[in-house]
């Protein structure tokens, strides 16, 4: 029987200056080298572009396979090269060791006007460069309160994923990001079940199992409860990934919540 992998992903956003970022990567690496999490738990660190090279070196020193401890970028451009001042392409981040890329985060949708169509182009570019896309979807508070969450999620899935999507999906309700508020277990279970039901329609097959993660105000306090929800394949962590101990606590909690206990 194959174990479905679980994920803990740290999104540093535009935080952690150079030395701080390197130190953070080294601290996390050191602990994971000494006490590696179970192989089914995949940890991914997503620093800013400027830190990719240094973080990659720190992670490599653990000797852990990249599936177990990998690195991702926080965005990429749809084209692979060309006259696009200030942009960074998928092959460029791949050159620096990134195996993943976060796409369609609500901060990019909001601050950079990224539409589902742009995100889908980026998914194609990442996939062509051998990078696994981590696509974020999620409704705003007003949409949730007006009972429109299901149609928002459906539109985002339909618009931002490619038909043959091979990647990770992160459900990040916009109202939960950075707010200290997380959905109840019940709400999460319902939303993730809905997302899982929508996926085969977009992918036109139910043979592909897309991991579905939750993100938004995850800390080591809620991580055990969130990770124990059956429909949750992992967590995408923002601010709590900026401090080595709090991120390691989340990894430990995820490992514990997802490791099958031997029967007595």
List residues near ligand PGA by CB under 6 A.
Answer: 11, 172, 177-178, 215-218, 236-240
* Shortest Å, Cβ 41 to ligand PGA: 18
* Shortest Å, Cβ 103 to ligand PGA: 12
Nearer to ligand PGA, 126 or 237 (CB): 237
Q: At what angle do helices 185-203 and 149-160 cross, to 10 degrees?
A: 40
* Shortest Å, Cβ 242 to ligand PGA: 9
Of the residues 42, 56, 105, 143, which is catalytic?
105
Nearer to ligand PGA, 160 or 217 (CB): 217
* Shortest Å, Cβ 9 to ligand PGA: 8
Tell me: is residue 33 an annotated ligand-binding position: no
Of the residues 107, 139, 143, 172, which is catalytic?
172
3-state secondary structure the chain: CCCCCEEEEEECCCCCCHHHHHHHHHHHHHHHHHCCCCCCEEEEEECCHHHHHHHHHHHHCCCCCCCCEEEEECCCECCCCCCCCCCCEHHHHHHCCCCEEEECCHHHHHHCCCCHHHHHHHHHHHHHCCCEEEEEECCCHHHHHCCCHHHHHHHHHHHHCCCCCCCEEEECCHHHCCCCCCCCHHHHHHHHHHHHHHHHHHHCCCCCCCCEEEECCCCCCCHHHHHCCCCCCEEEECHHHCCHHHHHHHHHHHHHHHCCCCCC
222's tokens = 């809620």
* Shortest Å, Cβ 207 to ligand PGA: 29
**Could you confirm whether 114 is annotated as catalytic?**
no
Report the residue closest to ligand PGA, judged by CB. Answer: 238
Name the nearest CA neighbour of 160 among 115, 105, 212, 120.
120
Tell me: is residue 11 an annotated ligand-binding position: yes
**Could you confirm whether 105 is annotated as catalytic?**
yes
Q: CB burial class (10 A; 0-12, 13-18, 19+) of residue 21?
A: buried
Tell me: is residue 12 an annotated ligand-binding position: yes
The dihedral over CA atoms of 112, 180, 50, 73, expressed in degrees to the nearest 10, equals: -70
Tell me: is residue 217 an annotated ligand-binding position: yes
Which residues are part of a known binding site for substrate? 11-13, 178, 217
Which residues are part of a known binding site? 11-13, 178, 217
List, by residue number, the catalytic residues. 105, 172
């Amino acid at each position: 029987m194959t174990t479905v992998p679980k994920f803990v992903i740290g999104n540093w956003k535009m935080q952690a200056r150079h030395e701080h970022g390197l130190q953070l990567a080294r601290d996390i690496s050191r602990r994971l080298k000494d006490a590696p999490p179970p192989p089914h738990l995949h940890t991914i660190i997503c620093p800013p572009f400027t830190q990719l090279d240094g973080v990659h070196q720190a992670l490599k020193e653990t000797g852990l396979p990249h599936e177990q401890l990998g690195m991702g970028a926080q965005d990429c451009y749809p084209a692979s090269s060309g006259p696009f001042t200030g942009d960074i392409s998928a092959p460029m981040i791949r050159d620096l060791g990134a195996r993943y890329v976060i796409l369609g985060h609500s901060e990019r949708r909001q601050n950079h006007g990224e539409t589902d169509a742009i995100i889908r182009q980026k998914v194609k570019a990442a996939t062509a460069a051998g990078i696994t896309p981590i696509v974020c979807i999620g409704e705003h508070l007003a949409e949730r309160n007006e009972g429109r969450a299901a149609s928002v999620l459906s539109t985002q899935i339909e618009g931002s994923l490619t038909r043959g999507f091979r990647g990770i999906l992160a459900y990040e309700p916009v109202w939960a990001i950075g707010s200290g508020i997380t959905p109840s277990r019940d709400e999460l279970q319902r939303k993730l079940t809905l997302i899982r039901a929508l996926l085969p329609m977009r992918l036109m097959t139910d043979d592909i199992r897309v991991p579905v993660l939750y993100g938004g105000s995850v800390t080591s306090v809620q991580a055990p409860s969130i990770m124990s929800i059956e429909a949750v394949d992992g967590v995408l962590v923002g601010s709590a990934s900026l401090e080595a101990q709090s991120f390691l606590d989340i990894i430990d909690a995820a490992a514990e919540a997802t490791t099958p206990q031997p029967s007595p």
